[in-house]
Homo-oligomer: A and B are copies of this chain.
Amino acid sequence: MPGTPPTRFVYLGPEGTFTEQALRTIPAAERGSRTPTRSVPEALDAVRAGDADAAVVPLENSIGGAVPVTLDELAEGAPLTITREIVLPVQFLLAARPGTTLADIRSVAAHPQASAQCRGWLRDNLPDAVVVDVLSNAAAAISAAEGQHDAAICAPIGATRHRLAVLADKIADHPDAVTRFVLVTRPGPPPPPSGDDVTSLAVYIAHDRVGALLAVLTEFAVRGVNLTRIESRPTGEALGRYVFFLDCTGHVADVRLGEALQGLRRVCADVRFLGSYPRHRWNTPAADQPVPPPAGLSDADYADAVAWLARLRAGELS
């Protein structure tokens, strides 16, 4: 039923990862059901099939980059829409069974992306420990809890859930790392404009990349629409064929963005609209504040131009 708030949530599991943490920032999820899935496709397919109302999956990390499977799944198959974004600081811990000290640690279980983000800390603090790859942050915590390895790099929620002691906090080399998650539902009218929104797109361009990508960027630039993310993914057809995932400032209901979207529709091989939703304002450096539009491209300039054109069409030239 359109407009009914979701009550049945799924999320990329297992329990005890950052994704569960992200889900639990949504008030409705606290009251509804929360089911982990084994993979991003499984989460999204549950929404597509109507077995769940909404899914939370990771989209990108400020260190590790895009989560390819999420992008690929959103770009293909039955359309889904993003209705919310959640940005979480990613705080990695070194956790171990109570009583363990740093000096005891010979092996550390970690997801490869996690150990990559903590490489400097490991080199400085555990130069002799062996880092063993495991398949998720939660799996790392479990393997430490079960004694397969001496310690784990994991999320705070993983340490809590598996009753591990925190030997070191905030061990990532980039202390400001964040991960961005999205809440995805079946298609429906987008949430109303909030005044500070993000619109996500998947854009397919024709083979000649320079000219076609120039044309895409020009459609945005000429209307003063700011791009905040651009990621390329191969389409799978051949090397050198890409789909671009773009985030831009604004809402599909805005005149400015509507005009740019129509321009993309005309010049691109295909455009998939992935949603307009409020920007998640987290604790951000000043440099990441919304960029003001260039001269002549403010909302007031747009309104003025609309009124002027109406006068011209009515024959009022002065």
Q: Mark A residues whose CB is within 8 Å of B.
A: 2, 60-65, 68-69, 78-79, 81, 87, 112, 116, 133, 135, 174, 176-178, 180, 187-190, 207-211, 213-215, 217-223, 225-234, 236-240, 242, 252-253, 258-259, 261-263, 265-267, 272-273, 284-285, 287-288, 291, 296-297, 301-302, 304-306, 308-309, 312-318
Return the contact of A265 from the options B62, B112, B189, B308 (Cβ within 8 A): B308
Q: How far is the CA of A221 from the CA of B313 in the complex (A)?
A: 22
Return the contact of A209 from the options B112, B218, B230 (Cβ within 8 A): B230
In the complex with contacts A288-B238, A317-B187, A222-B226 CB distance below 8 A: no
In the complex with contacts A60-B239, A228-B240, A296-B266, A318-B187 CB distance below 8 A: yes
In the complex with contacts A178-B239, A217-B217, A265-B309, A62-B211 CB distance below 8 A: no
In the complex with contacts A189-B314, A233-B65, A262-B308, A217-B213 CB distance below 8 A: yes
List 7 interface pairs A-B (beta carbons < 8 Å), by A numbering.
A210-B220, A210-B227, A238-B285, A240-B288, A266-B304, A267-B296, A273-B312
Instruction: Tell me whether B261 and A309 are in contact (CB under 8 A).
Output: yes
In the complex, which residue of chain B has the Cβ closest to the Cβ of A218?
B222
Chain B residues lying within 8 Å of A63, measured Cβ to Cβ, are 234, 236
User: Shortest beta-carbon distance, A117 to chain B, in Å?
Assistant: 9
In the complex with contacts A207-B287, A222-B219, A190-B261 CB distance below 8 A: no
Return the contact of A304 from the options B210, B234, B236, B265 (Cβ within 8 A): B265
User: Shortest beta-carbon distance, A81 to chain B, in Å?
Assistant: 6
Count identical subunits in the complex.
Answer: 4
Return the contact of A234 from the options B60, B232, B262 (Cβ within 8 A): B60
User: Shortest beta-carbon distance, A66 to chain B, in Å?
Assistant: 8
Return the contact of A273 from the options B69, B178, B306, B317 (Cβ within 8 A): B317
User: Shortest beta-carbon distance, A21 to chain B, in Å?
Assistant: 17
Instruction: Tell me whether A187 and B253 are in contact (CB under 8 A).
Output: no
Return the contact of A309 from the options B229, B258, B272 (Cβ within 8 A): B258
User: Shortest beta-carbon distance, A206 to chain B, in Å?
Assistant: 9
In the complex with contacts A230-B209, A236-B174, A266-B318 CB distance below 8 A: no
Point out which of A60, A68, A211, A317 has the most chain B C-beta atoms below 10 A from its C-beta: A317
Instruction: Tell me whether B291 and A208 are in contact (CB under 8 A).
Output: yes
Q: How far is the CA of A116 from the CA of B213 in the complex (A)?
A: 28
Instruction: Tell me whether A188 and B315 are in contact (CB under 8 A).
Output: yes
Point out which of A69, A233, A234, A316 has the most chain B C-beta atoms below 10 A from its C-beta: A234
Return the contact of A266 from the options B178, B211, B231, B305 (Cβ within 8 A): B305
Instruction: Tell me whether B214 and A210 are in contact (CB under 8 A).
Output: no
Chain B residues lying within 8 Å of A219, measured Cβ to Cβ, are 222
User: Shortest beta-carbon distance, A62 to chain B, in Å?
Assistant: 5
Q: How far is the CA of A156 from the CA of B225 in the complex (A)?
A: 49
Instruction: Tell me whether B62 and A68 are in contact (CB under 8 A).
Output: no
User: Shortest beta-carbon distance, A227 to chain B, in Å?
Assistant: 5
Return the contact of A78 from the options B78, B263, B309, B318 (Cβ within 8 A): B318
Chain B residues lying within 8 Å of A68, measured Cβ to Cβ, are 64-65
